[in-house]
């Protein structure tokens, strides 16, 4: 992965595109009852239209000696855009300098490119917290195995290992920790298999929580990767937090005369 002087948004999306924040996978064969509980929770989140209201992103690019080359912080909020829902840049800094206006312009350009590709569904490339291994629509191609009881930060869980081939050349492998009673996924760690060219290491980790309303939702997402070209080596770290969850229809109706 060659790191050059490029825009902050391009840098962040490049890392996300290489691994995906919450890599979408799917599952084959007879389902494990506990895994299926996780799928049911994901289905409820999707059918009810649960979305995050705020996303904060912090990205670091480090040189081989560990010194920080680029430090980017961005806060997004979910907003109503006509009859649809979109995200808006609230604030952004790069190495302490305010780049909010620049990021807003780059986000507009990204949205225009996305609109042109609406009919071209990309598999495994996403920074959307709604993409995860428990998506009900993707439960036909994964193979997974229950490993057994496992301690996760002092919490009793059931550990699963999974693999997924997106096509003949690309896939993912990972682990998922589920609540032993409810089946709610607590954390997922994933890696692309094989690694992209010029990438030495790349891992994503997502943690989840259950809201007061009983919805299972992503809480944090992390991506770490290293790579380079010839003597140019860089280490990248990205962390995202999601909060202020609400229902999509509630946000869409906000400001309407009847609401």
Domain boundaries along the sequence of the chain:
8-253
Please give the Cα distance from 218 to 206 (Å, whole number): 7
- Residue 253: pLDDT band with limits 50, 70, 90: confident
Please give the Cα distance from 15 to 99 (Å, whole number): 20
- Return the bridge partners of 203, or none: 224
- Residue 175: pLDDT band with limits 50, 70, 90: very high
Q: What local confidence, expressed as pLDDT, does residue 140 receive?
A: 79
Tens of pLDDT, residue by residue over 49-97, are 999 999 999 999 999 889 999 999 999 999 998 888 999 999 999 999 9
**Higher per-residue pLDDT: 191 or 147:** 147
User: Is the model's pTM score more than 0.75?
Assistant: yes
């Amino acid at each position: 992965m060659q790191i050059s002087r490029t825009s902050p948004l391009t840098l962040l999306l490049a890392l996300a595109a290489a691994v995906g924040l919450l890599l979408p996978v799917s599952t084959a064969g007879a389902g494990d009852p506990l895994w299926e509980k996780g799928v049911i929770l994901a289905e409820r989140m999707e059918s009810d239209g649960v979305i995050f209201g705020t996303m904060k992103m912090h990205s670091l690019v480090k040189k081989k000696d560990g010194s920080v080359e680029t430090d980017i912080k961005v806060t997004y909020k979910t907003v109503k855009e006509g009859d649809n829902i979109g995200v808006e840049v609230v604030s952004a800094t790069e190495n302490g300098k305010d780049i909010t206006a620049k990021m807003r312009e780059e986000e507009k350009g990204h949205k225009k490119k996305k609109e042109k590709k609406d009919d071209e569904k990309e598999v495994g490339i996403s920074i959307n917290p709604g993409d995860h291994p428990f998506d009900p629509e993707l439960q036909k191609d994964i193979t997974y195995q229950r490993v057994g009881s496992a301690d996760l930060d002092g919490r009793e869980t059931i550990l699963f290992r999974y693999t997924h081939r997106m096509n003949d050349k690309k896939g993912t492998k990972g682990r998922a920790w589920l609540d032993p009673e409810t089946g709610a996924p607590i954390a997922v760690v994933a890696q692309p298999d094989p690694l992209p060219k010029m990438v030495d290491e790349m891992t994503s980790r997502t943690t989840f929580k259950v809201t007061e309303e009983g919805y299972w939702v992503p809480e944090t997402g992390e991506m770490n990767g290293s790579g380079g070209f010839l003597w140019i080596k860089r280490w990248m770290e990205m962390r995202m937090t999601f909060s202020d969850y609400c229902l999509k229809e509630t946000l869409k109706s906000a400001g309407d005369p009847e609401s």
